[in-house]
Amino acid sequence: MLDIKFVRENVDLVRENIAKKFQDDKLPLVDEVLKLDEKWRKEKYAADGLRAKRNKVSEEINQLMKGGKKKEAQVLIQEAKEIPAAIKESEEVEQRLWNELREKLSGIPNIMSDRVPIGKDDSENVVEKVYGKPKDPKFDLKGHVELLEELGMADFESSSDVAGTGFFYMEGDLALLNRALINYTIDKMVKHGFRYIETPLLLRGDVINRVTDLHDQENMIYRIENDDLALIGTSEHSLIGRFVDKEVNVKDLPIKHTSYSMCFRKEIGSHGIDEKGLFRTHQFNKVEMVVICKPEESDDYFEKMKKISVEILKDLGLPIRVLKICSGDLGDLKKEQVDIEVYSPRRKGYIEAGSCSNLTDCQARKLGITTRIKGERVVPHTLNNTALATPRPLVAILENNQQKNGTVKVPKVLIPYMGGKEVIGKKEK
């Protein structure tokens, strides 16, 4: 959510930013916000005037009583009795206008970085950099579902029976490989100075409403019926939500937190190749990282966090690329975003493995997170990044490291986490 003062002073920039995101339907919001802002400030001025009048009348009453002028004082006392009700009425109007203003402000997107490519949708995202050379196998590559079912390392039928589509059972070496990915990534994040935290998997509705935008809520969040709770779509929600309506000591900045959690999402995505399996599911494992920092530090942390994700996937020996998200595909809370993708030989293309986003002060303002720098109240910046969501890297490992005999080489960095096992592929009982 943008600062109303910023909108007031940068109307043309705000409109231009909306147009660059191809959200012309939101342009009327700017005028609506400005009109509400004018009404709100007028009512706030009136409420402040009534409070000042109350203080002035109280002081006059004290002076009259001290001077023995009780008759004159009684006239003012009668006047003073009417002021609290007027103040209450004015404050209620002021609060109603402010709530309406906040709601309208929430619909106006964050100001994008100059580095964001201008484009209408994801087809116009831009490749920033490629790491590693994709290698297509010289044999018929098995899809991960076929491979895992043959090896007895996943059960998609039983999971469908007990939970529906979009869920899975992992077992044996696949489950151990999944755990190895998680443990390796956590260790990597701790080495980079992030504090490891395990968070709640449920959040109150008001926190979810303030930590995500409406699009995410409609397409991603599972709400708990008859209870004001929701399952987290990512541990970012609970890591950042932890600081709702709090003032963070500037001495504690930057806050660098990482968390492993199960994540729950309603979306499954487009139908097609490997619809069944690990490619996109309702439940998955993820190691997340978030940063809360001073405003002038967020661009640097964006680059640092992106570098960590690239490092993790490069360590796994996977061909990857960094994709700059264009204006039309960029979430409204974000200043800038890149997706980190891994190469899928079976699809002969790249698939998203994670994303890194700088939300500047928009998310923190929506959550009421503040700090004080040299005595001035400031809204800090927040960033989030996927250190590793395991399903797609697992698919990439199963495809890129698959051998002609159907076995799969374990990435070197994960061998210690697999008890020294270098190859998986033998069907277990």
Which is more confident, 429 or 7? 7
Strand partners, 322: 129, 340
Pair of tokens at residue 284: 């998955």
Give the whole-angstrom CA distance, residue 55 versus residue 63.
13
Predicted local distance difference test score (pLDDT) of residue 226: 82
Q: What are the residue ranges of helices labelled H in 141-171? A: 144-151, 156-163
- Residues with Cβ within 8 Å of 5's Cβ and at least 6 positions away in sequence, in order, are none
Pair of tokens at residue 205: 């509705």
CA distances from 227 to 41, 106, 282, 378 (A): 37, 25, 21, 34
Q: How confident is the model at residue 270 (pLDDT cuts 50, 70, 90)?
A: very low
In a domain, 191, yes or no: yes
In a domain, 203, yes or no: yes
Q: Residue 128 in contact with residue 338, Cβ under 8 Å?
A: yes
| Backbone CA torsion sign across 48, 50, 55, 56 | positive
Domain count, the chain: 2
Predicted local distance difference test score (pLDDT) of residue 193: 97
Give the whole-angstrom CA distance, residue 139 versus residue 125.
32
The residue among 202, 199, 147, 136 whose CA lies nearest residue 173 is 147
- Tokens 């009048």 belong to residue: 53
Backbone phi, then psi, for 217, in 5-degree steps?
Answer: -60, -45
In a domain, 111, yes or no: no
User: Based on the domain organization, do 151 and 36 belong to the same domain?
Assistant: no
Helix (H) or strand (E) holding 258: strand 255-264
Give the whole-angstrom CA distance, residue 321 versus residue 338.
10
SS3 assignment, position 262: strand
In a domain, 159, yes or no: yes
Choosing from 106, 137, 163, the residue where a domain stops is 106
Q: How confident is the model at residue 213 (pLDDT cuts 50, 70, 90)?
A: low
User: Based on the domain organization, do 292 and 383 belong to the same domain?
Assistant: yes
Predicted local distance difference test score (pLDDT) of residue 58: 86
Q: How confident is the model at residue 189 (pLDDT cuts 50, 70, 90)?
A: very high
Burial of 193 (0-12, 13-18, 19+ CB in 10 A): exposed
Strand partners, 340: 322, 354
- Return the CATH number at 60: 1.10.287.40
User: Based on the domain organization, do 144 and 18 belong to the same domain?
Assistant: no
Arithmetic mean of pLDDT, 187-204: 96
Maximum CA pair distance of the chain?
A: 105
In a domain, 113, yes or no: no
User: Based on the domain organization, do 252 and 374 belong to the same domain?
Assistant: yes
- Statement: the pTM of the whole predicted model exceeds 0.95: no
Give the whole-angstrom CA distance, residue 55 versus residue 77.
12
In a domain, 128, yes or no: yes
- Tokens 């490997």 belong to residue: 274
Q: Which amino acid is at 132?
A: G
User: Based on the domain organization, do 101 and 129 belong to the same domain?
Assistant: no
Arithmetic mean of pLDDT, 351-378: 95
Which residue segment(s) compose the domain that 23 sits in? 4-106
User: Based on the domain organization, do 251 and 292 belong to the same domain?
Assistant: yes
Q: Which of 104-108, 256-260, 271-275, 422-426 has the lowest mean pLDDT?
A: 271-275
Q: Residue 393 in contact with residue 318, Cβ under 8 Å?
A: yes
Q: Residue 294 in contact with residue 254, Cβ under 8 Å?
A: yes
% of the chain with per-residue pLDDT over 90: 66
User: Based on the domain organization, do 43 and 128 belong to the same domain?
Assistant: no
User: Based on the domain organization, do 66 and 165 belong to the same domain?
Assistant: no
Which is more confident, 197 or 228? 197
Q: Residue 367 in contact with residue 243, Cβ under 8 Å?
A: yes
Give the whole-angstrom CA distance, residue 9 versus residue 365.
18
Burial of 315 (0-12, 13-18, 19+ CB in 10 A): middle
pLDDT over 60 at 268, yes or no: no
Predicted local distance difference test score (pLDDT) of residue 26: 96
Arithmetic mean of pLDDT, 193-197: 98
SS3 assignment, position 41: helix
Predicted local distance difference test score (pLDDT) of residue 274: 44
Predicted local distance difference test score (pLDDT) of residue 426: 66
Helix (H) or strand (E) holding 8: helix 4-9
DSSP state of 348: T
- Return the CATH number at 197: 3.30.930.10
Which is more confident, 153 or 328? 328
Give the whole-angstrom CA distance, residue 221 versus residue 233.
6
pLDDT over 90 at 180, yes or no: yes
Average pLDDT, the chain: 91
pLDDT over 50 at 272, yes or no: no
Arithmetic mean of pLDDT, 146-168: 86
Strand partners, 256: 291
User: Based on the domain organization, do 84 and 166 belong to the same domain?
Assistant: no
In a domain, 262, yes or no: yes
Predicted local distance difference test score (pLDDT) of residue 67: 84
Give the whole-angstrom CA distance, residue 378 versus residue 91.
25
Q: Residue 285 in contact with residue 390, Cβ under 8 Å?
A: yes
Choosing from 77, 106, 135, the residue where a domain stops is 106
SS3 assignment, position 253: coil
Arithmetic mean of pLDDT, 362-386: 95
In a domain, 116, yes or no: no
Burial of 137 (0-12, 13-18, 19+ CB in 10 A): middle
User: Based on the domain organization, do 171 and 299 belong to the same domain?
Assistant: yes
Give the whole-angstrom CA distance, residue 41 versus residue 218.
33
- Tokens 């919001």 belong to residue: 29
* Residue 386 CB neighbour total at 10 angstroms: 23
User: Based on the domain organization, do 420 and 384 belong to the same domain?
Assistant: yes
Choosing from 63, 82, 106, the residue where a domain stops is 106
User: Based on the domain organization, do 141 and 239 belong to the same domain?
Assistant: yes
pLDDT over 90 at 105, yes or no: yes
